[in-house]
Structure 1
């Protein structure tokens, strides 16, 4: 009876395991891989658990009816099972890993009749900047996109390394200063999905979250028009303000952007001089460590 409340408390967290409630083809494929790997491992785990309970009960000192031969030391059949079963499991897992790693390559575009939506993502302390180059707008800590349209991401970081992840869509990927990573995702249905940073990046790391909202194409166009009504423009001076460590109270909208902003952020990180040996790093860099 005491086990049931403990089990209920343990399983309560499963409702928040977003990775097991995917809303896109990439997330669904990754969930299937997890289930297959889990099932294959149970082939070994379940017999071991059963035997660890059955053997002590059967050969306990008080059970005089159980035959016990302490001189027995080898069985060819048991050796065959002990070696062949794990070998088969490893071969199956290796095959699945090889095949799915190439099929789910985050750099590989998703086949679709719809044209992809290009999005440039910049990781800041401690906020996410989303640039829509074709729409010429930018948003901080809010990501809106049409459902059933492939998403083509270019990602970088203005500070330390972070990890971009929308669990229900799948495939987390690192954003690194001076580098560009790529990611392709797709949402099968409309909804609001949690987005987060999975890499510790400083004091504001626990609040470095955003809403990823999949809408209809009509709702997305209306949202773009609303962003374009913002009086703010994202240029070099405004970007410098965003670079200051902190978490904004809500999303920030920019009706226009400076051309080549994403590439400029990457080049800045590459050309930033390193402090001389034995001297302290700039104050801004210390916030992200």
Structure 2
């Protein structure tokens, strides 16, 4: 039996090694949250792990005890009941405990699902800013409608200020994700998804596309830089004073497949975000879709004023 156990141990070690090497360090950032959304998501992860661990550990212990106690050996003192077929206590135990655990998990998950609805505005004393996010192959375009600047593969935001991200895609569906701040919401062509995030600590945070989109998917990353409000305002003024404008021709080139280095622009074409979003929508559907987007924004503004 010992060679078998050695083989199983070796296989288990190799499997764990492959799992650990297959997970990049960025994925562990969810356990080091820098905002209220990420903190709530971390709580949900820990609660779920605790419940599952409370079930798994006793099961592993009982399994080991049973294997050891009822192993084949001379003069075994374990009771032998060849005609045994039913036990109400045991049935209630191995069905009741999982059912209770699933009910608890369901209640916790539903509660956090409503609590973490991405389109729900974050309550704050500060007015939210809007950043429009467009996923392209294989780069991220960020436009700031209130500040009038744009960036590629780089986003800057003020600390302790709610950010309303508007998400769309030029072609392939992707997933916008800043692990330290929470979120991960799909970007889809013809749609403007809404994701509210807030950073409560200054720093530079890793961001990426979390959906496979082809050849250079792994390079579709960006930096989210969180600074004070004063530094954010100074950055906007510096970009406006020193950088070139993003033109219609530049937008056409950005739509071409390929990677792109970090870039900043002092201005961008009017409605570039919505033009990209609506480019594949049929003419007869544009009016209704545009009205839906407008009324959604009005509803968010009304909700914020209510809070």
After the TM superposition, which of the residue ranges 141-150 and 233-242 deviates more from structure 2? Answer: 233-242
Q: Which residue of 1 aligns with 2:215?
A: 203
Q: Which deviations, in whole Å up to 9, do the C-alpha atoms of 1:106-130 show, x marking residues without a partner?
A: 0000000011111000011100000
How far the C-alpha of 1:269 sits from its partner, in A, is 2.6
User: Within the alignment, does 1:33 sit opposite 2:44 as a pair?
Assistant: yes
Q: How does 1:79-98 map to 2 (within 5 A)?
A: 79-98=91-110
1:252 to 263, 286, 289: 263
Query: Does the residue aligned with 1:39 lie in a helix, a strand or coil?
Result: helix
Q: Give distance in 2, aligned partners of 1:156 and 1:99.
A: 28
Query: What is the CA–CA distance in structure 2 between the aligned matches of 1:229 and 1:176, rounded to whole Å?
Result: 33
Deviation at 1:11, TM superposition (A): 6.7
Q: Name 1:137's counterpart in structure 2.
A: 149
Taking structure 1 as the reference length, the TM-score comes to 0.87
Deviation for aligned residue 1:202: 1.3
**Aligned equivalents of 1:60 and 1:83: distance in 2?**
26
User: Is the aligned partner of 1:44 residue 2:55?
Assistant: yes
Counterpart for residue 99 of structure 1? 111
Measure, in 2, the Cα distance between the counterparts of 1:6 and 1:36: 29
The offset of 1:69, in angstroms, is 2.1
Aligned match of 2:292 = none
Distance 1:29 1:58, change over 3 A: same
- Decide whether the 8 Å contact of 1:143 with 1:212 is kept in 2: yes
SS in 1 for 2:191: coil
Report how far residue 231 of structure 1 moved: 4.1
* Alignment correspondent of 1:240: 252
Alignment correspondent of 2:304: none
Q: Which residue, 157, 177, 180 being the options, matches 1:165?
A: 177
Aligned CA-pair RMSD: 2.4
Aligned equivalents of 2:215 and 2:16: distance in 1?
A: 34
Output one character per residue of 1:58-93: Cα deviation in whole Å (capped at 9) or x when no partner: 111115122232222211111111222111111111
Contact 1:158 1:269 in 2 (8 A): no
Normalising by structure 2, report the TM-score: 0.82
Gaps of 5+ in 1: 273-289
Quick check: 1:179 aligned with 2:178? no
1:261 and 2:272 are equivalent in the alignment: yes
Distance 2:63 2:16 in 1: 25
| Pairing 1:70-81 to 2, within 5 Å after superposition | 70-81=82-93
Kindly indicate whether the alpha-carbon contact (under 8 Å) linking 1:59 and 1:68 is maintained by their aligned counterparts in 2: no
